[in-house]
């Protein structure tokens, strides 16, 4: 019971904060609303029994990704565009596509019975690590390091001053 109440409280927080992200006029405000969304989602992951995912959500999204966003916002000084508002012509189109997506996904979900995991779900850090570093995903884990090096080299190549 308490869990259900907590879930709905978190879900409503996440939902309204998501609206705030879109509706905020200042980019900085949007960014902070996004942090609220990400933190509420993190708490929901915790409720679902995966503390490791909850922690990663905070560290990676609310931490690293948001700091990056804030850096960009402050470096570009987006605040100056606050009053302008920009073209509004995309709003109907955006609503149309969002509606289509919601309808589509909703229709699919109504008819479906998603398969439950065969083994009981173990969301602990230990189980997570065991899967990540066992034969299931160790290749992916190692491949990610190549991805990061490639991204670093690419960023260097693009950003370096000409000589």
Partner 1 sequence: MTIDFRPALPALIVALTGVVALVIDAFTPRAGRSRTQSVCLTGLAAALLVTFSLPVRIGCPACSPLTGGSVVSDTWSVALQALVLVVGMLALPLSTAYFRAIDQDRGEQNALIMFAIAGMLGLVSSVELISLFISLEIMSVALYALTGSRRARSDSQEAALKYFVTGAFSSAFFLYGVAWLYGVSGGTTFDRIASTLASPLGGNVGCALLASGFLLVGFGFKIAAVPFHSWAPDAYQGAPTSVTAFMSTAVKVAAFGALTRVFHGALFPLADRWIPLLAALAVLTMIVGNVSALAQRDLKRMLAYSSVAHAGYVMTALVSQPPQAAAAVFIYLVAYSVTNLGAFGVLAVLAKDGKEPLTLADISGMARRRPFLSAAMAVFLVSLTGVPLTAGFIGKLRVFAAAISADHAVLALVGLLMSAVSAYYYLRVVVAMYMEPPQDEDRWANVTGAAGLVIALCALAVLMLGVFPERLFAWAQTAAQTFR
Q: Residue 107, interface with partner 1 (CB under 8 A)?
A: yes
Q: How far is the CB of 154 from partner 1 (least distance, A)?
A: 3
Whether the CB-CB separation of 15 and 34 falls below 8 Å is answered with no
Question: Which residues in 134-163 contact partner 1 (CB under 8 A)?
Answer: 134-135, 137-140, 142-144, 146-147, 149-151, 153-158, 162-163
One-character DSSP codes across 55-107: HHIIIIIIIIIHHHHHHHHHHHTGGGGTTT----THHHHHHHHHHHHHHHHHH
The burial of 92, by beta-carbon neighbours within 10 Å (0-12 exposed, 13-18 middle, 19 or more buried), is given as: exposed
**Region near partner 1 per CB under 8 A, out of 4-12, 43-51, 79-87, 108-116:** 108-116
Nearer to partner 1, 1 or 160 (CB): 160
Among 16, 26, 104, 124, binds partner 1 (CB under 8 A): 104
Written as six digits, the tokens of 121 are 């779900």
Q: Which of 5, 88, 92, 118 binds partner 1 (CB under 8 A)?
A: 118
Q: Decide if residue 75 touches partner 1 (CB under 8 A).
A: no
The reply on whether position 93 binds partner 1 by CB under 8 A is no
Q: Which is nearer to partner 1, 74 or 147 (CB)?
A: 147
74: closest CA among 36, 18, 32, 16? 32
Applying CB under 8 A, does 120 fall inside the site for partner 1?
Answer: no
Cβ 14 vs Cβ 37: under 8 Å: yes
């Amino acid at each position: 019971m308490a869990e259900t109440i907590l879930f709905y409280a978190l879900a409503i927080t996440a939902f309204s904060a998501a609206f705030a992200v879109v509706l905020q006029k200042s980019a900085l405000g949007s960014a902070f609303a996004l942090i609220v969304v990400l933190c509420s989602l993190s708490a929901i992951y915790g409720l679902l029994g995966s503390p490791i995912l909850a922690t990663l959500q905070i560290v990676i999204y609310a931490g690293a990704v948001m700091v990056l966003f804030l850096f960009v916002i402050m470096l570009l000084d987006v605040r100056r565009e606050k009053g302008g508002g920009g073209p509004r012509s995309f709003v109907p189109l955006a609503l149309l596509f969002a509606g289509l997506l919601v309808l589509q996904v909703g229709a699919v979900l109504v008819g479906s019975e998603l398969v439950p995991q065969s083994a009981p779900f173990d969301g602990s850090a230990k189980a997570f690590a065991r899967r990540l570093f066992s034969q299931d995903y160790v290749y992916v884990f190692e491949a990610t390091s190549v991805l990061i090096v490639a991204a670093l080299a690419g960023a260097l190549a693009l950003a370096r001053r000409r000589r």
